[in-house]
Amino acid sequence: MRSILLWMARNQWLRERLPKLWFARRAVRRFMPGEDADSALAAAAGFAADGIAVMFTRLGENVTKAEEGDAVAEHYLGLLDTIAERGIDGEVSVKLTQLAYDLDRDRALAHCERLAEKAAAQGRTLWVDMEGSDYVDGTLELYERLHAGHPNTGICLQAYLHRTAADIQRLLPQSPGVRLVKGAYAEKATVAYQKRPEVDANYVALAVAMLEGMRARHTVTLGLGTHDVELIEQIAEHAVALGLDRTAFEVEMLYGIRSGEQRRLAKAGYRVRDLIAYGEAWYPWYMRRLAERPANVLFALRQLLP
C-alpha cells in the first residue's frame, strides 16, 4: 500500500490529473486549511488560544525554472513580514528544491540566507526541509554553510535512514536545529530501515543521542516531527532520565492530524507546534501523507461516498 501511494506521488501523469478531481480536493482539506497563505494564516489564530505555535510551509518541490525559486523566496519573505505584523508565534519551513536547488545551489543558498536574516531579525528559526535520499548530502552541505553564518536555522533529518545517526554526530558540535521525522519517501533497504519497528527504535535512539548532546552542552534546537504519541512520551522519559525537562524538545504535528492530541500534549506541558501547509502543488505531499497512515487513506476514500 505504502509503495503504491509513494509511486502515485511520483507519477507525473497522475500528478497532473488527480488533483483536479473533486473528491481529492475535498479529501486534502483534512490536512490543509486552504490553498492560499491567507487560509493558513487565519488557521494559525485558532492554535494560539491552545498555546500551540505554528509552522508554515508552502507546498511545492522540484521547480524547473530559477525564477520559480526566486518567486518562492519572495513569497516567504512576505510571509515572514505578515507573521510578524499579526504577532503569530510561527516559523517557516522551506524545501530546497522549491527554491530551485536543482538548477542553482548557490542561488538556493542565497535565498535561504535572506530568509534566515529576516527570521533572525524577528527572533525566529528558519527550517530547511529534507527530501528524498539523493538530496541528503547536498542539503546537509548547504545547511552547514547556511548555519555557519545564521545560527537561527534548522534542518530536517529522517530516522528511517541508516546514515542519520552519523549525520547527527557530525552536526551536534555545530549547535544545530534538528527537526526529526520518520521519513516519508520510498527508499531502498540499502539506505533506509524498511520496517516500522526499526524506524521507531531508530527514532527514539536518535532523539536520545540529541538529548545527550544537549546535556553535553551543545545547544540543540530539537523538534520531534511525528504523530506517534507513544514515541514522544517514551522520549520524554529519556529526557527526564537525562536530567532534562520535556520542554527540551518541541512536538511538531501536521494540521488536521491528531488535533486532540496536540491540545492534550500542550496542556500536559509539552511545547507543541502545528505545521500548516498550503499552496496549489499539494499532490505529491498529500500522497506521502496518505502513505504514512492507513487511517488517512480511509479518510480519503470516504470522500468518495455521498
Query: Residue 143 and residue 197: Cα distance in Å, rounded?
Result: 29
Residues 6+ apart with CB under 8 A from 143: 128, 153, 155, 176
Query: Residue 32 and residue 19: Cα distance in Å, rounded?
Result: 14
Burial class (CB in 10 A: 0-12, 13-18, 19+), 185: buried
Q: Which is nearer to a copy of itself, 116 or 171 (CB)?
A: 171
How is residue 181 annotated by DSSP? E
Q: Which is nearer to a copy of itself, 74 or 237 (CB)?
A: 237
Query: Residue 176 and residue 222: Cα distance in Å, rounded?
Result: 8
Is 242 one of the binding residues for a copy of itself (CB under 8 A)? Answer: yes
Rounded to the nearest 5°, which phi and psi values hold at 225?
A: -90, 80
Is 261 one of the binding residues for a copy of itself (CB under 8 A)? Answer: no
State the catalytic residue, choosing from 58, 102, 124, 129: 129
CA distances from 108 to 66, 72, 78 (A): 9, 10, 17
Q: Which is nearer to a copy of itself, 139 or 202 (CB)?
A: 202
Is 243 one of the binding residues for a copy of itself (CB under 8 A)? Answer: yes
Site string for a copy of itself, 164-203 (x = CB under 8 A): -xx-xx-----------------------x-xxxx-xxxx
> Interacting stretch for a copy of itself, rule CB under 8 A, among 2-10, 19-27, 112-120, 241-249?
241-249
179 as an active site residue: the answer is yes
Is 244 one of the binding residues for a copy of itself (CB under 8 A)? Answer: no
Footprint of a copy of itself on 210-229 (CB under 8 A)? 212, 216
What is the contact surface with a copy of itself in residues (CB under 8 A)?
162, 165-166, 168-169, 193, 195-198, 200-205, 207-209, 212, 216, 230-231, 234-235, 237-238, 240-243
Active site residues: 129, 179
